């Protein structure tokens, strides 16, 4: 039997989150300061060829799913060509994409033709134009809402990612859920995290999993759905609604026992956990001439050190508390 990526807790790694760029066309307050971040020099970004090799070797070790993130993946030139390239990997079952939706409307027909591109996660934190601008510091709500409608009507599976931000959009939780009545969309509420280029935001109210669920239950009777073992969200159905609702306890980290994912940042840093500060630079390893066999051995040994959970990962950080922008990690 071919080798598999299994960590010291018996969790098998089947999913890689690959950030194709740290560039983004938005400036979401929970991800980076209004003036942006210091982006990596272009030469420091992984090339598409390097990304293809990394994913290929991981799929030879049992990874079947890749999620492409950023920054904003569609900001990277020739991203569609990279999707076509990845689609040739016969061991890869699913290519998922997380996007802010401001630039993808014109690409939807091409994405629908790509068999392996199945799930699109659209990040949208407000249904109000002014509030959207306040959160993202960019006036592109109409484009993003149009993308939402086009994706909902497309053959692609659509999930909405809504970061619940105290003092910004907690009053819209019920509005987002109302969308699921007539639309077959999964709305997922994500706990805000300090990956914002500054560190923990001074928030009065902690909108964690429990508080978000309580808010939902003030208006809706929800029934817990059976989710995939390694699902990041706890999902609920509502009687008479086409779509579903989920909550991702990303900061309270109650999902770590079944974690099946690793991450690769835009500059090729390998992460065993979102909360670690990177364990190895794959880019330099590749550029130093490493073979695919050497890469395979490397992955097998790195995964052995995957921490039990995000709290252990955070405690073991060498570069201080979490504050780096999510745009440099890929979420």
What is the contact surface with ligand SF4 in residues (CB under 6 A)? Answer: 253, 255-256, 259, 261, 273-275, 309-310, 313
Nearest residue to ligand SF4 by CB is 310
Closest CB to ligand SF4 among residues 126, 232? 232
Closest CB to ligand SF4 among residues 197, 330? 330
Segments of 127-216 assigned E as strands: 157-164, 186-191
Segments of the chain assigned E as strands: 15-19, 65-69, 94-99, 117-123, 157-164, 186-191, 222-224, 234-238, 244-248, 261-264, 269-271, 280-281
For tokens 């020099």, the residue is: 41
Output Rg (C-alpha) for the chain, integer angstroms: 19
User: What minimum distance in Å lies between the beta carbon of 313 and ligand SF4?
Assistant: 6
User: What minimum distance in Å lies between the beta carbon of 264 and ligand SF4?
Assistant: 13
Taking each continuous run of H as one helix and of E as one strand, the counts in the chain are: 10, 12
User: What minimum distance in Å lies between the beta carbon of 275 and ligand SF4?
Assistant: 5
User: What minimum distance in Å lies between the beta carbon of 253 and ligand SF4?
Assistant: 5
User: What minimum distance in Å lies between the beta carbon of 110 and ligand SF4?
Assistant: 31
CA–CA gap between residue 107 and residue 324 (Å, rounded)? 30
Q: Helix 292-304 vs helix 48-59: angle between axes, to the nearest 10 degrees?
A: 70
Closest CB to ligand SF4 among residues 169, 232? 232
Closest CB to ligand SF4 among residues 185, 273? 273
User: What minimum distance in Å lies between the beta carbon of 115 and ligand SF4?
Assistant: 28
Strands 157-164 and 186-191: what pairing?
A: parallel
Q: Which residues pair with 271 in a beta bridge?
A: 263
For tokens 């003030």, the residue is: 218
Closest CB to ligand SF4 among residues 188, 253? 253
Closest CB to ligand SF4 among residues 103, 279? 279
Residues 278/265, Cβ–Cβ less than 8 Å: yes
């Amino acid at each position: 039997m071919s080798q598999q990526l299994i960590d010291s807790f018996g969790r098998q790694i089947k999913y890689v989150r690959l950030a194709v760029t740290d560039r983004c066309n938005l400036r979401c307050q929970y991800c980076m300061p209004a003036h942006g971040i210091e982006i990596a020099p272009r030469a420091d970004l992984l090339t598409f060829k390097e990304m293809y090799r990394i994913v290929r070797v991981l799929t030879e070790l049992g990874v079947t799913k890749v999620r492409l993130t950023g920054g904003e993946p569609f900001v990277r030139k020739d991203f569609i060509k990279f999707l076509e390239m990845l689609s040739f990997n016969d061991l890869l079952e699913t290519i998922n994409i997380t996007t802010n939706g401001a630039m993808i409307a014109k690409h939807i027909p091409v994405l629908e033709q790509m068999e392996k591109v199945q799930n699109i996660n659209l990040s949208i934190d407000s249904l109000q134009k002014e509030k959207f601008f306040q959160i993202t510091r960019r006036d592109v709500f109409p484009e993003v809402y149009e993308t939402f409608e086009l994706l909902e009507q497309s053959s692609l599976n659509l999930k909405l990612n809504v970061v619940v931000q105290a003092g910004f959009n907690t009053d819209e939780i019920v509005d987002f859920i109302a969308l699921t009545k007539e639309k077959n969309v999964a709305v997922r509420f994500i706990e805000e995290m300090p990956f914002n280029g500054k560190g923990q935001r001074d928030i009065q109210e902690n909108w964690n999993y429990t508080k978000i669920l309580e808010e939902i239950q003030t208006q809706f009777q929800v029934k817990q759905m059976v989710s995939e073992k390694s699902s990041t969200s706890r999902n609920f159905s509502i009687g008479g609604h086409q779509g579903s609702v989920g909550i991702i306890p990303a900061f309270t980290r109650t999902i770590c026992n079944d974690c099946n994912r690793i991450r690769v940042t835009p500059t090729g840093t390998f992460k065993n956990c979102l909360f670690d500060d990177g364990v190895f630079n794959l880019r330099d390893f590749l550029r130093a001439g490493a073979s695919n066999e050497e890469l395979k051995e490397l992955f097998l040994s790195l995964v052995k050190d995957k921490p039990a959970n995000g709290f252990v990962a955070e405690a073991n950080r060498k570069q201080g508390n979490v504050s780096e922008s999510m745009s440099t990690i890929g979420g």
